[in-house]
Amino acid sequence: MEMSPLQHEMGLAEPFVTTKLDKVLGWGRKYSIFNYPFVTACCGMEYMSAACSRYDMDRFGAGLPRFSPRQSDVLLVVGTITHKMAPVLKQVYDQMCEPKWVVAFGACTISGGPYNNYAVLQGIDQIIPVDIYIPGCPPHPEIVMDGLIKLQAKIQHQKHEV
Amino acid sequence: MSASSENTGFRDTGSWAGPELVQALRERFGEGLRAQSEAFGEQEITIRREILPALARCLRDEHGFEMLLDLCGVDHLGQREERFEVVYHFYGLAANRRLRVCVPLSGDQPELPTLCGLWKAADWYEREAWDLYGIRFAGHPDPRRLLLYDAFVGHPLRKDYKMKARQPLIGPGSRHEEDASHV
Ligand code: SF4
């Protein structure tokens, strides 16, 4: 029998307990994002602006950047990734524990941005999976907030391994 | 100090070698000096590639150019018969003067003798010119790429390097790495 989105929403598609647990876990995880800022270029300025008190990412529970991949669950890739940097990014991603999400912050990480040349990776999704793309060169902090809210929605609505 | 440096307050960065030096070199190397020019008071000589080591040693030991300031490649694709050119800048500390030496190179496999034995500074400059222009320096002690990585295909500052060319990915899990692990 086909389920309607409403039935999914109400948890009728699967046993009541698992879906409710998913919701609780999603609720907990979306408000306790520990991000790893992989900052390589000018977008870092906008990341700092978004993280500091004026825009204050802490309002969304993402206020504490961790500089160890082992302690973080969202990899924020901020800035130009060159071919020579790509193995480092891949290694950082591999070192992060599940569950983990990746945010491509700025045009460079999405498609190489203004750098269509021999040195720059044309989008980080060539080497690691990306959950949210935040466009802009650099993205305004408000777009970063929007991306963060979209990431939270994604975390809330996905299935969680326990 | 030149008049202009007094006016602007910039530090005196030295003068360029005068025509008398070029005259002395011409007497010494004759036909090896192909051309001489001067623009904005900067002396520039164009030489045959064969005399480069002798000329460099002569400049260093007899004319007091102790420093190799710069070495770079140029690609004149479609503009000159001799496609490549290597440009050297020499600087004499005591006399505070400079000289530019151009060495045109023809062919698809351009090559020059290394100057690493005379100036340590030549080491990375020559590796850079090899990396980006594919100009070889025979006798270089460590002729690897400088800025790019070993898996890179081609020399990106050559004018016929395809702008949209894509390079192989490197690092863990990439095809290049797997290929290497089989070797
Ligand atoms: S997207 Fe623009 S601002 Fe961001 S790193 Fe690239 S060039 Fe810099």
For the segment A43-90, what is each residue's pLDDT rounded down to a tens digit?
Answer: 999 999 998 889 988 888 888 888 899 999 999 999 999 999 999 999
Burial A92-121 (b: 16+ CB within 10 A, else e): bbeebeeebbbbbbbbbbbbbbebeebbbb
The arithmetic mean of pLDDT across residues B11-31, rounded, is: 81
Output the CATH code of domain A34-58+66-151.
3.40.50.12280
User: CATH 3.30.460.80 region(s) of chain B?
Assistant: 3-147
Mean of the per-residue pLDDT values of chain B = 84
Q: Which residue has the higher pLDDT, A63 or A19?
A: A63
CB spacing of B170 vs A91 below 8 angstroms: no
Domains of chain A, residue spans = 34-58+66-151
**Residue B59 · residue B32 · CB < 8 Å:** no
Atom number of ligand 1 nearest to Cα A137:
2
Ligand 1 mean position to A88 CA, how many Å? 19
Cβ under 8 Å to B: A residues 60-99: 83-84, 86-88, 90-91, 94
Rounded percentage of chain A residues whose pLDDT exceeds 90: 56
- Residue-level pLDDT at B20: 84
Of A18-27, A40-49, B150-159, the one with minimum mean pLDDT is A18-27
pLDDT band at A3 (very low <50, low <70, confident <90, very high): low
Quote the CA–CA distance of B58 and B62 in Å, as a whole number.
5
pLDDT exceeds cutoff 80 at B180: no
CB spacing of A90 vs B161 below 8 angstroms: no
Which residues does residue B67 pair with via DSSP β-bridges, in sequence order?
B91
The arithmetic mean of pLDDT across residues B32-60, rounded, is: 89
Residues of B in contact with A84 (CB under 8 A): 148-149, 170
pLDDT exceeds cutoff 70 at B10: no
Q: Which residue's alpha carbon is nearest to atom 4 within ligand 1?
A: A43
Residues of B in contact with A119 (CB under 8 A): 148, 156
The arithmetic mean of pLDDT across residues A110-120, rounded, is: 90
Q: Which residues line ligand 1 (CB under 6 A)?
A: A 41-43, 79-80, 106-108, 113-114, 137-138
What lies within 8 Å, CB to CB, of B92 at 6+ separation is B17, B63, B64, B65, B66, B67, B98
CB spacing of B149 vs A90 below 8 angstroms: no
For the segment A80-100, what is each residue's pLDDT rounded down to a tens digit?
Answer: 999 999 999 999 999 999 889
pTM of the complete model:
0.80
Rounded percentage of chain B residues whose pLDDT exceeds 90: 47
For the segment B64-120, what is each residue's pLDDT rounded down to a tens digit?
Answer: 899 999 999 999 998 988 999 999 999 988 888 889 999 999 877 799 999 999 999
pLDDT exceeds cutoff 80 at B61: yes
What lies within 8 Å, CB to CB, of B177 at 6+ separation is B170, B171
Atom number of ligand 1 nearest to Cα A45:
3
- How far A15 CA lies from chain B's nearest CA (Å)? 39
Span B3-147 CATH architecture: 2-Layer Sandwich (3.30)
pLDDT exceeds cutoff 60 at B149: yes
